[in-house]
Amino acid sequence: MKIVVLDGYTLNPGDLSWEALEEIGECTVYDRTSLTDTEEIRSRIKDAEIVFTNKTPLSAEVLKGCQKLRYIGVLATGYNVVDIQAAKEQGIVVTNIPTYGTAAVGQFAIALLLELCHHIGHHNKAVQEGAWTRNPDWCFWDYPLIELEGKTMGIIGYGRIGQATGRIAQALGMKVLAFDKLQTVKETEQFQYVDLNTLFASSDVIALHCPLFPDTEGIINKENIAKMKDGVIILNNSRGPLIVEEDLRDALISGKVAGAGLDVVSSEPIRADHPLLGLDNCIITPHISWAPKESRERLMQTAVENAKAYLKGKPINIVGA
């Protein structure tokens, strides 16, 4: 049986092992595959029965030329890189990894927040460059420092990751408000569900942990920013298109939004002319919330379990069923 991994480097840059997949069949791992060259994609998987992809798109055009393909394992939670309908029509099972980085992504959201509150990276750099040595006082700070206890975090999307972020925020002494249509968690003294407009108006910090759907795309826009407190902080390590980036830029420049911490943008890798680059009050990291080794180990383990379940005729974590 032939197995192909189209873009394995981000999952495993060398600190994990592909041995578990190699035990299943003849496994070929490509570090990267073109995102746009359909001929290259097709040529690499045309003889494979099992294919794993992270961000390499598997369109209807590509799938049409892969008659041996019976299983696609998406090495991520989001599966929009696969034409699910085309796969279904060809009898191809598609699975994803529904959860693997809950703790890591929640932790990273708080890391973005703490960096915005204390500018630790900047102050370390200043010390390393001699600013403290030359300073006439025993301490200094170049940005306002923010204490979080007693402040309110509004979380849009209160699933597993939103709840993980909320627990850490509560440990910091923050009150948590959440907007979530499912409302699967019971309210407490430090946590309650509210409507979206109340969340915007009441939150000192707004964290995005919702999926990208038509009704959430662009949910952070100039109209909703106008409803927020002056000096609000916005965090996004969910999906870039949740934010209208030009509107956020305007709000950061005006000071309506005091700061933003982003691990995702609308088009990745980020464009050199991206509107949020170059702003002192906007931190951007390269989509790494998911990437601690522990999370990637869980992702790899689940990917192997998905494949083994498919081979036993009892597939799990199917999408588009």
Determine which one of 32, 268, 271, 294 is catalytic. Answer: 268
Determine which one of 44, 209, 239, 298 is catalytic. Answer: 239
The neighbour count for residue 49, using CB atoms within 10 Å, is 19
Q: Establish whether 268 is a catalytic residue.
A: yes
Determine which one of 42, 160, 274, 287 is catalytic. Answer: 287
How far apart CA 143 and CA 185 sit, in angstroms, is 37
Measure the CA dihedral 301/303/305/310, to 10°: -170
How far apart CA 1 and CA 47 sit, in angstroms, is 10
Alpha carbon of residue 273 to chain centroid: 22
Q: Establish whether 249 is a catalytic residue.
A: no
How far apart CA 59 and CA 195 sit, in angstroms, is 38
The three-state DSSP-derived secondary structure of 35-62 is CCCHHHHHHHHCCCCEEEECCCCECHHH
What is the per-residue DSSP string for 269-291? Answer: SPPTT-TTTT-TTEEE--S-TT-
Going edge to edge, which strands form the sheet with 205-208? 191-193, 175-179, 152-156, 205-208, 232-236, 257-262, 282-284
Q: Establish whether 287 is a catalytic residue.
A: yes
Residues with catalytic function: 239, 268, 287
